[in-house]
Structure 1
Amino acid sequence: MATWFLIIIYLAFISLGLPDSLLGSAWPVIWPDIGSSVGSAGIVSMIIAGGTIVSSLASGTMIKRLGTGRITLISCILTAGALLGFSMAPSMVWLVILAIPLGVGAGAVDAALNHYVADNYKAHHMNWLHCFWGVGATLGPIIMSAYIADHNSWRGGYAAVSIIQFTLVIILLVTLPLWKRVAAIRELERPHNDEHVESDKLQPEPTIKANLFRIKGVKPSLMAFLFYCGVESTVGLWGASYLVGARNITADTAALWISLYYGGITVGRLITGFITLKVPNRLLIRYGQMITIAGGIILLLPLPVSFSLLGFILIGLGLAPIYPGLLHETPARFGREHSARLMGYQMAVAYTGTTLLPPMFGLIATKTSLSLFPFAVLAFLIFMLLSAEKVNRILSKQVKVN
């Protein structure tokens, strides 16, 4: 049952990925239609991310009170309704208002599902979980590109995704009783197959009221999350605008190219799920960061425009193992007892990156030029690499001491 139940969780993560890539791919045609400015996408993105921060910080408490199943159901209802509202929004004001439930819903389901899978399944399942987020994030721009090209309507794209979300709401409602049942089964099996049992011993468990920020490695780990989500969302939000404004590509083609960026994340996580059976997360995270930096350098170099597509795909492929790898390592690195609370903090800091970095670049681009996009992306990637490597150094020293 636990294996079949993963299908429901994967579907939930497809729904989580669908709206994440819509705004950036559609923004080149949204802002002229509603009479806004190119830089105001950062405002909507910031509010969405702000909602995710609030719900992520509260996720530990909500999981205990409501359970993962109910949180996932309620979150999908919020996002589906918000997306339907986006499709009918007459002005920028309505996009700002609807961004609140969209962000709150996304943050709650993200933290809840990540904790559930990290606590109940192995590393390859975490990679495949985020692979299905990539499926949703890839389908979003494809759907939007089709509506823009065939119907010249970004509103139709949002309406189509809303219908998909409401369909998932029905599935989640029917399968609601399974969440606790599967978790109970996994708990009974844990002494025989829990891969975290030995690794938990590397670090003494603090008391339940202990300050999690005092645990060695937590702070640089949080910074790695901040820059990961910051760069992922910056590329997703501003990539199409950069291609249209700085590289003179049509809006529908730019949306398609951004879908291939998310496709790189998706395919990378599918492959990484198999590789984790042989290669530890720490190495996969490092290799992924090197690939992203190679993609960022390609974007930066004065190459023909077709190379930009290669740069986006490489960044996507490189990002693939980083986020699920960092998440799945949470119970092993910092203790299972506090993984739910720390997972919420990680989500909150990650979405702080989503809140701050894309709008920051939007402000810079408005004052200067969209051509600075590759410089910003490469800088964020380098900071992410430095943060993740600092965690590895701290934990390596700790293992030697123990």
Structure 2
Amino acid sequence: MATWLIIIIYLAFISLGLPDSLLGSAWPLMRQDIGAPLSAAGILSMIIAAGTIVSSLASGWIIKRFGTGKVTLVSCCMTAAALLGFSLVHSIAWLALLAIPLGLGGGAVDAALNHYVAENYEAHHMNWLHAFWGIGATGGPIILSYYIACLNSWRPGYFTVSIIQFCISAVLLATLPLWDQVAKQHKLVRAAGQTSTDDAVDPPAIDNNASIFKNKAVIYTLIAFLFYCGVESTVGLWGASYLVGTHNIAPKTAAAWVSLYYGGITLGRIISGFITMKFDNRHIILWGQIIAIAGAVILLLPSDPIVYMLAFGLIGLGLSPIYPGLIHETPARFGSENSAKLIGYQMAVAYTGTTLLPPIFGFIAAKTAITIFPLFVLAYLLIMLASTETVNASLTV
């Protein structure tokens, strides 16, 4: 049962990734179709991310009340319905309204599945879980670029993704009893092994929120999450617009190249799942940041367009192990008694980065030029690197 359920969870994370990459890839054509300014994508992105913040903060109570399976099913249905609406409407106001259930559904799925896998499966499944998000995020632009090339329209791409979401919802409905059964199995296994873990050394529990934020490492960890999600979503949202506006690349080609960025994230997380069996998260996260910074530097250099395509893939590959690695490090760094509370804060701050940083870039780019895109990506990456290295230094003192 546990094997079947992890496959279903991976499918659900594909459904989480599919919508995340659509807006940025579709925006060059979408904004012309509905008569919206360039910066409106940032507003839509902010509404979606705000919904994820609200649902992730409330996820603890919701999961406890209804269970992970039901929360995942309802959330997947919400995102499917919202995407169907996206494919049909013709105004920015309707898109903004539909962005609310899209964000609420995505945040609830993310929090519920991360918690369930951390609670019931081995550590390497965390990397692979997020790799399946990457499969969805990679597939979105591929589907979209196909319809743009064949029909010169973004709408069939959104419609197709909504149908995929409804199909995944049907699978979740059919397998709903599995969630509680597997959780009970793992609870019995943990109870049987409790004696052997009682002697493990664990950092002292943090009693309240005030003492959490007195810990310097906690503050810098939250900053790292803020800028990780900020740079990941900024590249996904504005990458295609940068390629079209700066290098005169066709919209269909730009959408396909952004899929290479998400492909780098996907491939990197699959590989990282195996690498974590040999190397510690600290070094994997560091090398990932260095690779992503190298990709951002390449975007700053004058070169052939094909090199910029490779740079997007390199940024995705570098980013791939950072988010799951930081989540997985939380119990080891701050104690298992503190991890549930801290992971909740981390996800909320991460979604805040998704909410604020891409619109900030969009606003500034609208006032200046889209050519500043690589500078912002590089700045976000360097701040994240400084934050994670400060955490490492403070914990080794």
Distance in 2 between residues matched to 1:136 and 1:385, nearest whole Å: 27
Q: Name the count of aligned residue pairs.
A: 396
Shift of 1:186: 1.6
Distance in 2 between residues matched to 1:200 and 1:80, nearest whole Å: 44
Identity of aligned residues (%): 65
Superposed, 1:316-395 pairs within 5 Å as: 316-395=316-395
Shift of 1:157: 0.4
Alignment match, 1:280: 280
Shift of 1:130: 0.4
**Cα distance change of structure 1 residues 197 and 355 upon mapping to structure 2, 3 Å threshold:** farther
| Secondary structure in structure 1 of the residue aligned to 2:39 | helix
Instruction: Note if contact 2:203-2:334 (Cα within 8 Å) is conserved in structure 1.
Output: yes
One-letter amino acid of the structure 1 residue matched with residue 343 of structure 2: M
Instruction: Note if contact 2:220-2:391 (Cα within 8 Å) is conserved in structure 1.
Output: yes
Alignment match, 2:141: 141
Distance in 1 between residues matched to 2:200 and 2:51, nearest whole Å: 32
**Cα distance change of structure 1 residues 126 and 95 upon mapping to structure 2, 3 Å threshold:** same
Alignment match, 1:108: 108
Two-structure CA RMSD over aligned residues (Å): 1.8
Instruction: Note if contact 1:73-1:172 (Cα within 8 Å) is conserved in structure 2.
Output: yes
Instruction: Note if contact 1:43-1:359 (Cα within 8 Å) is conserved in structure 2.
Output: yes
| Secondary structure in structure 1 of the residue aligned to 2:90 | coil
One-letter amino acid of the structure 1 residue matched with residue 234 of structure 2: T
User: What TM-score comes out, normalization by structure 2 length?
Assistant: 0.96
Instruction: Note if contact 2:202-2:336 (Cα within 8 Å) is conserved in structure 1.
Output: no
Distance in 2 between residues matched to 1:339 and 1:377, nearest whole Å: 30
**Cα distance change of structure 1 residues 202 and 342 upon mapping to structure 2, 3 Å threshold:** same
Shift of 1:207: 3.7
**Cα distance change of structure 1 residues 209 and 356 upon mapping to structure 2, 3 Å threshold:** closer
Distance in 2 between residues matched to 1:68 and 1:166, nearest whole Å: 18
Superposed, 1:169-248 pairs within 5 Å as: 169-190=169-190, 197=197, 201-207=201-207, 212-215=212-215, 217-248=217-248
**Cα distance change of structure 1 residues 200 and 386 upon mapping to structure 2, 3 Å threshold:** farther
**Cα distance change of structure 1 residues 283 and 191 upon mapping to structure 2, 3 Å threshold:** farther
| Structure 1: gaps of 5 or more residues | 398-402
Shift of 1:124: 1.3
Instruction: Note if contact 1:227-1:350 (Cα within 8 Å) is conserved in structure 2.
Output: yes
Distance in 1 between residues matched to 2:68 and 2:214, nearest whole Å: 28
CA deviations on 1:324-351 (whole Å, 9 max, x unpaired) are 1111222332233343333222111101
| Structure 2: gaps of 5 or more residues | none
One-letter amino acid of the structure 2 residue matched with residue 27 of structure 1: W
Alignment match, 2:27: 27
Shift of 1:56: 1.1
CA deviations on 1:12-59 (whole Å, 9 max, x unpaired) are 100000000000000000000001111110000000001111111111
Q: Is residue 76 of structure 2 the alignment partner of residue 73 of structure 1?
A: no
Distance in 2 between residues matched to 1:312 and 1:382, nearest whole Å: 17
Shift of 1:219: 1.5
**Cα distance change of structure 1 residues 308 and 124 upon mapping to structure 2, 3 Å threshold:** same
Higher mean alpha-carbon deviation, 229-238 vs 295-304, is at 295-304
One-letter amino acid of the structure 2 residue matched with residue 230 of structure 1: G
Instruction: Note if contact 1:268-1:320 (Cα within 8 Å) is conserved in structure 2.
Output: yes
| Secondary structure in structure 1 of the residue aligned to 2:247 | coil
Higher mean alpha-carbon deviation, 214-223 vs 343-352, is at 214-223
Superposed, 1:257-296 pairs within 5 Å as: 257-296=257-296
| Secondary structure in structure 2 of the residue aligned to 1:217 | helix
Instruction: Note if contact 2:205-2:335 (Cα within 8 Å) is conserved in structure 1.
Output: yes
Shift of 1:396: 2.1
Distance in 1 between residues matched to 2:30 and 2:150, nearest whole Å: 16
Distance in 2 between residues matched to 1:245 and 1:40, nearest whole Å: 16
Distance in 2 between residues matched to 1:363 and 1:115, nearest whole Å: 35
Distance in 2 between residues matched to 1:180 and 1:217, nearest whole Å: 35
Instruction: Note if contact 1:127-1:324 (Cα within 8 Å) is conserved in structure 2.
Output: yes
Distance in 2 between residues matched to 1:396 and 1:280, nearest whole Å: 15
Distance in 2 between residues matched to 1:193 and 1:216, nearest whole Å: 33
One-letter amino acid of the structure 2 residue matched with residue 383 of structure 1: I
Shift of 1:243: 0.2
Distance in 1 between residues matched to 2:336 and 2:182, nearest whole Å: 18
Distance in 1 between residues matched to 2:199 and 2:84, nearest whole Å: 45
Distance in 1 between residues matched to 2:49 and 2:200, nearest whole Å: 32
Distance in 1 between residues matched to 2:190 and 2:295, nearest whole Å: 40
Alignment match, 2:54: 54
Distance in 1 between residues matched to 2:55 and 2:145, nearest whole Å: 31
Distance in 1 between residues matched to 2:296 and 2:193, nearest whole Å: 40
One-letter amino acid of the structure 2 residue matched with residue 343 of structure 1: I
Higher mean alpha-carbon deviation, 57-66 vs 254-263, is at 57-66
Distance in 2 between residues matched to 1:115 and 1:200, nearest whole Å: 22
Shift of 1:209: 7.5
Alignment match, 1:400: none
One-letter amino acid of the structure 1 residue matched with residue 336 of structure 2: R
**Cα distance change of structure 1 residues 199 and 166 upon mapping to structure 2, 3 Å threshold:** farther
Distance in 2 between residues matched to 1:293 and 1:200, nearest whole Å: 37
CA deviations on 1:261-285 (whole Å, 9 max, x unpaired) are 0000001111111111111111111
CA deviations on 1:220-256 (whole Å, 9 max, x unpaired) are 1111111000000000000000000001100000000
Higher mean alpha-carbon deviation, 13-22 vs 336-345, is at 336-345
